[in-house]
Amino acid sequence: MSSVAIKVEGLVKVYGAIQAVDNISFEINEGEIFALLGPNGAGKTTTLEILQSLRKATKGSVYVLGYDISDNKNVQKLKKEFGVLPQDFNAIDKLTVKENLSVIAKMYDKHVNLDKLIMTLNLEDKSNSKFEDLSGGLKQRLGIAGALVNDPKMIFLDEPTTGLDPRARRDVWRVIEGLKKEGKTIFLTTHYMDEAEILADRVAIIHKGKIVAIGETKTLLEKSGGCRTMILEDVPESITKEIKNRFPKATIVGTDVRIQILKLKEVNEMISYLTKKGIEQSLQITRPSLENVFLGLTGVHLTEEGELA
Ligand code: ATP
């Protein structure tokens, strides 16, 4: 049985009139990649920053690596045992990759060998390049290296691939998978569904401060019916109404129609309906995805980039 790296119970964070985190509870096991997935403003960063003791909880209990973080004495010890890639990570523009890592290393009593760390992140070629000359993906890799300087057991990654191009995102994913192989516990926040699906052993979906689904990624995918979905986009409103009458299972969001497929017969029925009506919108069929889980629970759609709207 794996031990628990993080235990959160009844966590609440209120900013004035805003309930940013609304009574959430979850556990993260040692050695797993856990993703907190949700749209902008869902409460991901607030949760992450409370776990890192950067913000105080309004209510609830949080244990990180066995430490009760409400006790300040624990926080000092704990901070040596985890690493962080903050959202919008930045380093010193005029310093090189290695110099930036040396600056971070000076903040700790002990640190790993920086040349080895640079190799782990495949940054050897860039070791002497200035931060300002790195691409977005390389900057993020330096950020992850910075989170590993103190050889932490656990790493917090706050939206590690936001703003990166697809190739740079995949490079960062490979690095994160490598860290898991080394036995690190990884807590990441993301608003990319594919990122959570590919990387995470377990996922919690957060929406308006509440956890609306939590579990093993594969179990959540199976829960989405384990089924595929038919999608029709940009359908005129008069037709969406008719489709809803004809196919009561359909979810209509704006001008988009989605119907989970249980039997092939349903696809046939839809095709004959579209043909009969002379509707020319192309019918897409998607594989099971966390998007289905999320959409089913919240009605919130994805943007074209695959992010939560
Ligand atoms: P994003 O993906 O945009 O980073 P998020 O899921 O990380 O979003 P949070 O940054 O945790 O969400 O914000 C949750 C809610 O709390 C939002 O409504 C946000 O506007 C609000 N909020 C966050 N920080 C503060 C603050 N310091 N003061 C007041 N409200 C805040």
Residue owning the nearest CA to atom 10 of ligand 1: 45
In angstroms, the Cα distances linking 201 to 106, 238, 273 are: 34, 42, 40
Q: Tens of pLDDT along 147-172?
A: 999 999 999 999 999 888 888 888 88
- Tell whether ligand 1 has an atom less than 6 A from the beta carbon of residue 43: yes
Distance 158 CA to ligand 1 centre (A): 13
The reported pLDDT for the residue numbered 307 is 62
Residue owning the nearest CA to atom 16 of ligand 1: 20
Ligand 1 pocket, mutate which of 44, 161, 307 (most atoms under 8 A from CB) = 44
- Tell whether ligand 1 has an atom less than 6 A from the beta carbon of residue 202: no
300 confidence band (pLDDT: 50, 70, 90): low
Q: Tens of pLDDT along 53-86?
A: 999 999 999 999 999 999 888 888 888 899 999 9
In ligand 1, the atom with minimum distance to the C-alpha of 42 is: 6
- Tell whether ligand 1 has an atom less than 6 A from the beta carbon of residue 309: no
The reported pLDDT for the residue numbered 96 is 96
Over 80: is that where the pLDDT of 258 sits? yes
Q: Which residue has the higher pLDDT, 287 or 244?
A: 244
Over 60: is that where the pLDDT of 309 sits? no
Residue owning the nearest CA to atom 21 of ligand 1: 20
What structural domains does the chain harbor?
Answer: 4-81+153-223 (3.40.50.300), 227-287 (3.30.70)
Measured CA to CA, the distance from residue 101 to residue 127 in angstroms comes to 10
- Tell whether ligand 1 has an atom less than 6 A from the beta carbon of residue 18: yes
Query: Contact at 8 Å (CB) between 155 and 189?
Result: no
Distance 251 CA to ligand 1 centre (A): 29
Q: Tens of pLDDT along 109-138?
A: 889 999 999 998 889 999 999 999 999 989
Of the candidates 225, 248, 234, 232, which has an alpha carbon nearest to the alpha carbon of residue 285? 232
Q: Tens of pLDDT along 15-34?
A: 999 999 999 999 999 999 99
Q: Tens of pLDDT along 209-249?
A: 999 999 999 888 877 655 678 888 888 888 888 898 988 88
Residue owning the nearest CA to atom 19 of ligand 1: 41
Q: What is the pTM of this model?
A: 0.81
